[in-house]
Amino acid sequence: MSIVTISFFLGIVGLTLFVTYLAAKKTSSASDFYTAGGGLKGWQNGLAISGDYLSAAAFLGVSGAIALSGFDGFFFSVGYVVANLVVLYIIAEPLRNLGRYTLADMITARFNEKRVRAAAALSTITIVILYMIAQLVGAGALIQLLFGIDYWIAVLIVGIMMTIYVLFGGMGATSWVQIIKACLLLFGTGLMSFLVLRHFDYSIINMFDKVSQATEHGDNFLNSGVKYTNGFDSISMLIALVLGTGGLPHILMRFFTVKDARTARTSISWTTWITSIFFTLTIFLGFGAAAFVGVKDIMAANAAGNLAAPLLAEYLGGNVLLSFICAVAFATILAVVSGLVLTGASAISHDLYGEILKKGQLTEKQQMLAARVGSIVLAACSILLALGAQSLNVSFLVSFAFCIAASANLPVILYTIYWKRFTSTGAIAATITGLVSCLVLGALSPNVWNLEGTAIFVGEALFPLTNPAIITVPLGFLAGYIGSMLSKKEENDDVFDEITVKANTGMGVSDISH
Amino acid sequence: MANQMDISVEQQPKTTVGEPVLANEKEKERQVYREIAQMDSFKLLVKKKKKFLFSTTILFLIAYIMLPVLTSFTSVLEHRVIGKITWVWVYSLSLFVMTIVLCEVYKYRAGKFDKEVEKIMKEYGDSK
């Protein structure tokens, strides 16, 4: 490690700790802890949501995937960008108007039953843990490669840092870490894209031309089919991406950090612009890496292509740019896992402990204590799981988390807001069916079973698709429908009136949040 | 930004806060929601909103899912546009443009809906 690398690295750590210190002084209630007191501005929350979208998987993963398989790598980018619209059109505003800290709060605004809350909390925790293992294992491997530190030390460093941010600074610190990281990442990718374009004489046509000659795939590199040969698999994955984003608990939670529906709207508008620009730039990163670094060297550094962007940075700007991009990648990982810890803690401490076990009778002080204990427990479990999962190929867990979010959470959110005949039995049926069908089909998929022994078990996969969303999303919706129709119509006309009025007018937001 | 409109909570009927008797307060609150929900102007607004939101959502989801459908089962997107740039890139990037345009359309429409909500709230307040 050079002195430049160390200073960038320490700079990021110092800056984020300073922000945590400032946020800690403002974190005195449960509302501060879970939602930064609902006091974020639209642009701040917009940048923070962008930070959640632009995870290490998106930055390193997508640019690497484009470098290795051309257009097929870019599929992810399209999914992430269009997902903004689903969130904006059907989720953001009603969610802000109905919820308080968690997804379960929003659903129990309509069905005030413990079992409904428990089901929602269960799916939140499952998604958070899957996502978290993927991020931590990825982070450990990455830091090991970037800085030459042992895997277990790398996981511990990330684990301790995320715990500090969340424990002391709550959502305030987590949001600001996201904001800082989003700005650094945008600057870094913008600069690299410019340099790549300069190497192609500022001509995009020239860039496509050169790239088509740079890899063994030739012209096929510029079309779909290098990576995805099964049409249903790519359709299924794109369904999971576009519908799953709107059901991911750590994204949903971000909407409670703003004061009203209009600010929620502004946030996602910022996110839309930022992610559209960022994911367009991933083309330059991917193509640049393919043309200048070369597939052979990228694969030699990491078979999945995760180091394509850092290697490209080294080619373009030497050790300084490499160190900067690595530091940004490190910040990216920290920011995303912190958001995950907070979301998981909200489900454990607020939903399961505070609302179900203690029936919502906790004082402000007890709530804060529960939130902090929950964060530590969740962080500790994730670190242990990540240490044990080192040798597993976990990259599929992320798309899997999207799949559960789309199948278990999205149907319940939509039915709760828009369907009058929906019942609590329907809510539980949808959540459990979505969750279980994803887990079962996922366990039978080629990610877990294959004959070559590159998956977890050796054997033939019973289910042919790597991502089951194309089956599980309709199943989730169907289960919610059938569950509702088979159960007795609830005498909840009043409650549905209340939900409709609140969702559409924002009435009562002041009573339920700050 | 749509910040000209103001339907902030302060302007809404204060029926829901600060009443001394709790059970009574809850019933009063219910009453307010029920009454607003039954107003014709409110019902019309909800209907208009749903129509706009769901028809647009279905359209952009179809445009989106056509991308993998076209790349997987046809070769129409493999033809070149300029140089070696194929239609698949043009289609994908137009989905980005579509996203930004529809985002702005939403903000514009939502601003209008905000104004209608404001009107409905005023109508409700006047009827009391």
pLDDT digits over A267-285, tens only?
999 999 999 999 999 999 9
Is B11 an 8 Å CB contact of chain A?
no
Q: Which residue in B has a C-alpha nearest to residue A510's C-alpha?
A: B9
The one-letter amino acid code at B28 reads K
Signed CA dihedral, A121, A124, A129, A135: sign only: negative
Chain A environment of B16 (Cβ under 8 Å): 507-508, 511
pLDDT value of position B3: 41
* A400 domain-assigned: no
Over residues A184-236, the pLDDT tens digits come to: 999 999 999 999 999 998 888 888 888 888 888 888 888 887 787 788 888 99
In a 3-state reduction of DSSP, which class is residue A249?
Answer: helix
Residue A107: exposure state from Cβ atoms within 10 A (0-12, 13-18, ≥19): buried
Average pLDDT over residues A339-354: 89
Are B60 and A235 a contacting pair at CB < 8 A? Answer: no
Chain A environment of B119 (Cβ under 8 Å): none
**Adjacent-strand bridge partners of A458:** A450
Over residues A60-74, the pLDDT tens digits come to: 888 988 999 889 889
Over residues A404-431, the pLDDT tens digits come to: 999 999 999 999 999 988 999 999 999 9
Report the residue from A205, A283, A506 with minimal CB separation from B9: A506
* A501 domain-assigned: no
* A36 domain-assigned: no
* A429 domain-assigned: no
CA distance A260 to chain B (A): 8
Are B85 and A88 a contacting pair at CB < 8 A? Answer: no
The one-letter amino acid code at A251 reads I
Are B3 and A262 a contacting pair at CB < 8 A? Answer: yes
Residues 20-39 of B with CB under 8 A from A: 29-30, 33-34, 36-38
- Whole-number mean pLDDT of chain B? 82
The one-letter amino acid code at B7 reads I
ipTM for this model: 0.89
Are B36 and A501 a contacting pair at CB < 8 A? Answer: yes
pLDDT value of position A118: 92
Distance of CA A211 to the CA centre of its chain: 31
Q: How crowded is residue A228: how many other Cβ atoms within 10 Å of its Cβ?
A: 21
Mutate to test the interface with A, among B100, B101, B104 (most CBs of A within 10 A): B100
Chain A environment of B3 (Cβ under 8 Å): 262
The CATH number linked to A246 is 1.20.1730.10
Close Cβ partners of B118 (under 8 Å, ≥ 6 residues apart): B5, B6, B7, B11
Residue appearing with tokens 């809350």: A117
Tell if the pTM clears 0.90, that is, is over it: no
pLDDT value of position A492: 65
CA-nearest of A181, A206, A199 to A324 is: A181
Chain B environment of A497 (Cβ under 8 Å): 33-34, 36-38
Q: How crowded is residue A76: how many other Cβ atoms within 10 Å of its Cβ?
A: 22
CB A282 within 8 A of CB A54: no
Residues 16-35 of A with CB under 8 A from B: none
In a 3-state reduction of DSSP, which class is residue A458?
Answer: strand
Residue B21: half-sphere exposure toward Cβ, Cα within 13 Å: 4
Q: B21 or B36: which carries more pLDDT confidence?
A: B36
pLDDT value of position A1: 63
* A446 domain-assigned: no
* A466 domain-assigned: no
Report the residue from A75, A89, A494 with minimal CB separation from B34: A494
Domain total in chain A:
1
Residues 369-428 of A with CB under 8 A from B: 418
Residue A233, domain extent: 41-394
Q: A392 or A5: which carries more pLDDT confidence?
A: A5
**CA separation for the pair A5, A146 (Å, rounded):** 10
pLDDT value of position A223: 83
- Whole-number mean pLDDT of chain A? 88
pLDDT surpasses 90 at A478: yes
* A314 domain-assigned: yes
CA distance A401 to chain B (A): 20
Are B83 and A208 a contacting pair at CB < 8 A? Answer: yes
